[in-house]
Amino acid sequence: MPELPEVETIRRELAPSLTGRKILGARISRPDIVGWPRSGECGVRNAECELKRLITGQRIRQLERRGKYLILRLSRGDSPGRLLVIHLRLSGQLLVVPTSTGKLRFERIRFLLSGRRSLVFIEPRVLGRVYLVEEGNLPPVLKGLQNLGLEPIHPRFNARYLQNKVQHRSARIKALLLDQGIAAGVGNIYSDEALFRAGIRPLRRARRITNQEYGRLARALRSVLQDGIRHMGTTMADARYRRPDNRPGEFQKRLMVFDREDSPCKVCGTTIRSCRIGNRKSRYCPKCQT
């Protein structure tokens, strides 16, 4: 799943192509990609036509990101409009192409834009979703967006914040870092990498971590996400994440433990191990992490 660095890279690279363009319509190949928040008003069957009606004529005023969500702020004239919220889930990809481009493989929805351009949502697994919501009135279906914690790149994300969230919990620290209500935007890749940088094993119980270690962990989370953004995200062998111009990210070249089980640690040479925490695989160095 694209994490904070990947979605931030997508936002930065899409913004010059999308900001200021008017939405002229939409072509929806899979209506179930529309996560309609007001099912009582139109029902699932009519969500497709309702979405088209409401977005046509809206202008993309700004691209924002919150955690792993991409948010297109829309407006009509001088009046504030709605928010188009896109959640890429496991394998979603966004491309800007000439409107004349034929239908792409795994294309689920195409937003027709002014200037003969189109924003295309590619989603092989059909798990991603597009929501159109009123600004300041997020529906229950977007509870995950409503309840996000601080992002580790936020100025107020520090050791005290992290301790207040997790230090009395008996859960393993890796599982807690994946909780979007604690560390918004962090997923499997960057939690493994941050724990390596902090010297903490993913199996450690949160209440057993010291104040000093929480300080290292908060700094490691911030630095690894900043590095992920700087290197335009992580593209693994499955190529689930691609940038809007279809190029890969570069951070995979700098991974220390993620997807490196049974390989030697780049610091000490010890074989990287893996373990299961919940339904996620975690990787760590048994010597560098305690």
Active site positions, annotated: 2-3, 68, 280
Instruction: Tell me how far apart the alpha carbons of residues 262 and 283 are, in angstroms, rounded to a whole number.
Output: 10
CA distance 254 to 22: 39
Three-class DSSP labels, the chain: CCCHHHHHHHHHHHHHHHCCCEEEEEEECCHHHECCCCHHHHCCCCHHHHHHHHHCCCEEEEEEEECCEEEEEEEECCEEEEEEEEECCCCCEEEEEECCCCCCCCEEEEEEECCCEEEEEECCCCCCEEEEEECCECCHHHHHHHCCCCCCCCCCCCHHHHHHHHCCCCCEHHHHHCCCCCCCCCCHHHHHHHHHHHCCCCCCEHHHCCHHHHHHHHHHHHHHHHHHHHCCCCCCCCCCCCCCCCCCCCHHHHCCCCCCCCCECCCCCCECEEEEECCEEEEECCCCCC
